[in-house]
Amino acid sequence: MKGVPFSGVLRLSRFIIRQDRMRYLWWLVGIIGMTLIVPPAFNELYPTEQDRNIMAETMKNPAMEAMVGPGDLANYTLGAMVSHQMLLMTAIAVAIMNCLLMVRHTRAEEEDGQAELLRSLPIARHSQLLASMFTLFGVNSLLASLIGIGLYSLSFESMGLSGSLIYGASLGAIGLFFAGVTAVCAQLSESSRGAVGLSFTIMISCYVIRSVTEWIPPFGWLTQVQPYSDNNWVPVVGLIGTSILWFVLAVVLQGKRDIGSGFLPSRSGRAHASILLRHPIGLAWRLQRTAFISWSIGMFVLGLSYGSVLGDLDSFFQENDLLASMIVADENSSLTAQFLPTLMAVLAFISTIPALLSIHKVVGEERKSRVEHLLGRAVSRKKLLVSYLVLALFTGFLMLSFSALGLWLAGTTSMEDPFTFPMVWQASIVHFPALVMMIAISICLIGVAQKATGFVWLYLFYGFLTLYLGGLFQFPNWMEKLSPFGFVSKLPIEDMNWLSAGGLLAVAVILLIFGMNRYNNRDIEG
């Protein structure tokens, strides 16, 4: 196969598709479904131009702009509203999909040794990487076309063909961009976890930076597309162009390294284990330490960025009497405080991710046949699972606290009448029972159906959607209540509902006990 640098690419692409077709299907169904549900819902809730203009007024504030980006608020048609409020959030889901899939096809295969097997066959060094790129190019193109056609087929007046196509295309382009970023991360880091962590860090930083400065790729470019109003193709082309640069960089980097190695250095270590590393919980901590530290920093920074917006919001309200008169709801709390529960809810959803990752580590370890080293020694399953549980709870609690700390710190320096730390912290930690509930659901899945643990992500996402959209557009109440986050009191504008918090915890404890019991009584795989 000399002289054929990319031989086997098509075959490998087919192989990847065959392996992961169900995974693609679920991602596509999820993202497309979430996109197509929204326009009819908006149309129902805001049938007239007047309704939409009121919505546009409430969106005219720095906090919302930080979260969803700028929109065509002057001409807030149904299409403009959908693209304003949904495009950036959907783009993040698409980016997550691409990060996870790309790592799965590249670094994870290499880590598990499958890459070595494949590469010993007459296929070229870059073929696997290229096959992954081709496959994800296909997935993103499919996503783009289906969303474009799907939105158009809803046949709303303000959602024409070109707007729908560009909406889909911009999501596909952001997907490709992050597929490219992740392809590079997979060359840098030596482990698949590290690669996922690195690409998520880049993604979150990009999101945060965008809220400060527009026109920074990729999310800054994305929000310039403005489907259904400007229909600006330039940023889409820019995103696709940049993603090609990422891909080229990934191929070049791969050409410079040995299989299994990375560019970020790994140091030689200690000959003896520390005292901490002599207990299952010490091991669990050690395995998650890096991720924990990165997430802590991430949550703190995210809190800071939201907090800095609070100051802008504060001054904005003081200048804008019309808006102030419009949304006064509660005389006891300031206008800015009205926004606190929404910000905290978003931070709480993101804080749940590291907590769930932490508890899922125990199944990951099982799949890699590493728990047998512990269970084969004098460690009971209960002790093992409780170790991971304690760590997950600890992670969730601290993530909520760090994001509150960041928000409070930035708010204090930018607001005229700043919040007290206890108030911010309470508004954040009030989500803890819901977070515990999510962990308990994960434990149940781990005990009953360890292959289906991924479903908890869908559930988390459902909670986010119902709360995020429901809060803005009055979805039926029961839809929110299907997620534990629907039972969280909106501090500080609501009173603390101890009953629902206690109820959540009680149900969580029952689920925990059930899940642990099942885990104790099932086969350990691996």
For the bound state, the minimum distance from the C-beta of residue 295 to other proteins, rounded and expressed in Å, comes to: 17
For the bound state, the minimum distance from the C-beta of residue 523 to other proteins, rounded and expressed in Å, comes to: 5
The single-letter DSSP state of residue 431 is: T
Owner of token pair 């690419």: 9
Q: How is 144-189 classified by DSSP, letter by letter?
A: HHHHHHHHHHT--TT--HHHHHHHHHHHHHHHHHHHHHHHHHHHH-
Nearer to other proteins, 2 or 377 (CB): 377
Nearer to other proteins, 290 or 477 (CB): 290
The C-alpha torsion from 44 through 47 and 50 to 54, rounded to 10°, is 20
Nearer to other proteins, 32 or 359 (CB): 359
For the bound state, the minimum distance from the C-beta of residue 288 to other proteins, rounded and expressed in Å, comes to: 10
Is residue 304 classed exposed, middle or buried when 0-12, 13-18 and 19+ CB atoms within 10 A define those classes?
A: buried
For the bound state, the minimum distance from the C-beta of residue 202 to other proteins, rounded and expressed in Å, comes to: 21
Nearer to other proteins, 376 or 476 (CB): 376
Is residue 479 classed exposed, middle or buried when 0-12, 13-18 and 19+ CB atoms within 10 A define those classes?
A: middle
> Two tokens at 413?
């320096």
> Two tokens at 342?
């929404």
Cα–Cα dist 526/520, whole Å: 16
For the bound state, the minimum distance from the C-beta of residue 132 to other proteins, rounded and expressed in Å, comes to: 21
Nearer to other proteins, 143 or 374 (CB): 374
Distances (CA, A) of 424 to 64, 333, 337, 418, 458: 19, 13, 10, 10, 28
Cα–Cα dist 133/127, whole Å: 10
Ramachandran angles phi, psi of 490, nearest 5°:
-85, 75
For the bound state, the minimum distance from the C-beta of residue 446 to other proteins, rounded and expressed in Å, comes to: 15
For the bound state, the minimum distance from the C-beta of residue 431 to other proteins, rounded and expressed in Å, comes to: 31
For the bound state, the minimum distance from the C-beta of residue 525 to other proteins, rounded and expressed in Å, comes to: 9
3-state SS record for 308-371: HHHHHHHHHHHHCHHHHHHHCCCCCCCHHHHHHHHHHHHHHHHHHHHHHHHHHHHHHHHHCCCH
For the bound state, the minimum distance from the C-beta of residue 339 to other proteins, rounded and expressed in Å, comes to: 41
Nearer to other proteins, 72 or 111 (CB): 111
Nearer to other proteins, 274 or 332 (CB): 274
For the bound state, the minimum distance from the C-beta of residue 257 to other proteins, rounded and expressed in Å, comes to: 14
207: how many CB neighbours lie within 10 A of its CB?
21
Binding residues for other proteins (CB under 8 A) = 111, 190-191, 260, 266-274, 277-280, 283, 286-287, 290, 368-370, 372-380, 521-524
Q: Is the dihedral of CA 519, 521, 523, 526 positive or negative?
A: positive
Tell me: cis bond preceding 39? Omega within 30 of 0 counts.
Answer: no
Nearer to other proteins, 266 or 477 (CB): 266
User: Residue 196 contacts by C-beta under 8 Å, 6 or more apart in sequence?
Assistant: 99, 100, 103
SS3 content of the chain, % helix, strand, coil (to 5): 75, 0, 25
Cα–Cα dist 107/125, whole Å: 14
256: how many CB neighbours lie within 10 A of its CB?
8
Nearer to other proteins, 273 or 499 (CB): 273
Question: Under a CB-based contact definition with an 8 Å cutoff, are residues 343 and 443 in contact?
Answer: no
Cα–Cα dist 511/488, whole Å: 19
For the bound state, the minimum distance from the C-beta of residue 262 to other proteins, rounded and expressed in Å, comes to: 10
Nearer to other proteins, 205 or 517 (CB): 517
Nearer to other proteins, 11 or 286 (CB): 286
For the bound state, the minimum distance from the C-beta of residue 383 to other proteins, rounded and expressed in Å, comes to: 8
Q: How is 59-87 classified by DSSP, letter by letter?
A: H-SHHHHHHH----GGG--HHHHHHHHHH
Nearer to other proteins, 18 or 278 (CB): 278
CA 45 remoteness from chain centre: 27
Cα–Cα dist 499/501, whole Å: 5
For the bound state, the minimum distance from the C-beta of residue 106 to other proteins, rounded and expressed in Å, comes to: 16
Nearer to other proteins, 25 or 276 (CB): 276
119: how many CB neighbours lie within 10 A of its CB?
17
